[in-house]
Amino acid sequence: MEGKVQRNIYFQIAIIIFVVYLFFGFFGTSLPFQSKGDSDYGGGGNIINQVVYTILFLASLISLFVRRLDAIAIIKREKVFTIFLVWCFFSTFWSLSPVDTAKRLFLTLTLFTVMLSLLVHTSSTDEILKFVKPVLYLYVFLSVAVCLAIPGAKDPKFHTWRGFSYTKNTLGQWALVCIILSYYIYKMEKGFAKFIASMAILFSLALLVGSRSATSISTFFLIGIMGALFSIDELFKPLGLGRAASVIIFLFSVIMIVSFIFISPEIIGTFTETIGKDPSFSGRTDLWTAMLISISHHPFLGTGFRAFWGVNPPSQYLEHINSVFIWLPNESHNAYIDITNELGFIGLGIFVVMTVRYFVNLRKLNSPSPWKWFIIAALIISLQESVLFNVGNFLGVMFIISYLILFARLRRQEVEVV
């Protein structure tokens, strides 16, 4: 009985720190309606961040201690993300700013331990949606209210909604996360609770549209198309076709798109204009070219985990970039370029293996996983925004959470079989 009571206490600690982490993940630790500063890129320069996440880290270690063997089993099952974190740690030794790298690695480790502390205590990962629900609802409904009532909740540059986020693009990403979470909460609810979940979906859609974030809106439609393809698989299963049906439709669509591009190249410009972008994606392609030159100076080791954009004083090459791009970028607007620039091709290789292993292992689950959509969304948006392994970005947080949930579920399946 005493052991059970102790487990319940540790479980309660895990739930509390997870909910607190979610709260600050949604709302941030800075005052709302402020301009985005370069120190916020990795969240390492905010003193409130440092205090809050230090407390969460220590509390998660306490919760983990009683189930440390289970935590080790999950780590052994997933492996590659842990290797990625180790490589990030080693990058401290050659980082442009070891302090920045250490701070941002600590924030990532905090998410890692907070999530592990919850996963080793939960009997089902579906419980996580119940813990997410109150914070999600608070964020969604309050965000719409402030966007309608407070002028500061509008992006000062584009005059679109930004809510509690720094820019319209970050609100768009948060809204996309909220739509997915609200949809799966809706599926598990009944009665009046189902109605509240449906309202959360509508309000999340309002935030997405109000942000006018072309990247997030495009990702929303791409995910919708992919979801429809998965549904087609289920529809054709009785005929013995299964995944072949969606693969055929997907390949046909790709062939049609490529054919249109070769026949009418101007279609690219028309498409980018339709989603509110110029062919250079608001200067991103020029920035990517400049970043490739930076990568060529340190192709294998990189500049250190999350160090390039946060160094103080800035690196000589960053000074050059800021002199060329008058909008003073604080990221390359492409997560894959940033990973390569900061962790070298070695770090990029580890990330690729990590992603491939995720989707390979996803097929081993005995039931569908809603969490895969956060992985897919993050991978798509990362073509335009640096969200991966950026715990200052909630979609980046959901990427890591979703990754760990998969391997915790696989570990639980293995234990149940034994």
Residue 277's pLDDT is what? 55
For the packed helices 335-362 and 394-417, what is the interaxial angle rounded to 10 degrees?
Answer: 20
Q: What is the mean pLDDT of residues 98-102?
A: 89
Give residue 2's pLDDT.
42
Question: In this model, does residue 26 exceed pLDDT 80?
Answer: yes
Determine the average pLDDT of the residues in 256-268: 53
Q: pLDDT over 70 for what percent of the chain?
A: 77
Question: Once rounded to an integer, what is the mean pLDDT over residues 310-331?
Answer: 65
Specify the pLDDT at position 403. Answer: 95
Strand partners, 161: 154
Q: Is the pLDDT of residue 5 over 50?
A: no
> Are 117 and 111 a contacting pair, CB within 8 Å?
no
Q: What is the pTM of this model?
A: 0.86
What pLDDT score does 25 carry? 87
Is residue 116 scored above 50 in pLDDT? yes
Residue 188 scores a pLDDT above 50: yes
The predicted structure's pLDDT at residue 327:
61
Question: What's residue 366's pLDDT?
Answer: 82
Quick one: average pLDDT of 41-52? 66
- Contact present, 409 and 122 (Cβ < 8 Å): no
Q: Which two tokens stand for residue 237?
A: 């299963």
At 1 the pLDDT is: 42
Q: What is the pLDDT of residue 270?
A: 56
pLDDT band of 262, cuts 50, 70, 90: low
What does the pLDDT average to over 390-399?
Answer: 90
pLDDT at 3: 46
Arithmetic mean of pLDDT, 283-302: 85
pLDDT, position 38: 37
Residue 39, pLDDT score: 38
Higher pLDDT, 234 or 387: 387
Burial letters for 186-224: b for 16+ Cβ neighbours within 10 Å, e otherwise?
A: beebeeeeeebbeebbebbbbbbebbbbbbbbbbbeebe
Ramachandran area for residue 160 (φ above 0: left; ψ -120 to 50: alpha; else beta): beta
Q: What is the pLDDT of residue 269?
A: 55
pLDDT at 339 over 50: yes
The residue that leads in pLDDT, 248 or 340, is: 340
Give which of 228, 153, 211 is closest to 177, Cα–Cα: 211
Choice between 167 and 264, residue whose per-residue pLDDT is larger: 167
- Rg, C-alpha atoms of the chain: 22
Residue 204 tokens, joined: 């999340």
**Does residue 418 carry a pLDDT above 60?**
no
For the purposes of burial, counting CB atoms within 10 Å of the CB of 118, is it exposed (0-12), middle (13-18) or buried (19 or more)? buried
Mean confidence (pLDDT) of the chain: 82
pLDDT score at 88: 96
Lowest mean pLDDT among 95-104, 141-150, 313-322, 344-353: 313-322
Best-predicted range by mean pLDDT (55-59, 314-318, 390-394): 55-59
Domain segments of the chain as ranges: 132-212, 218-281
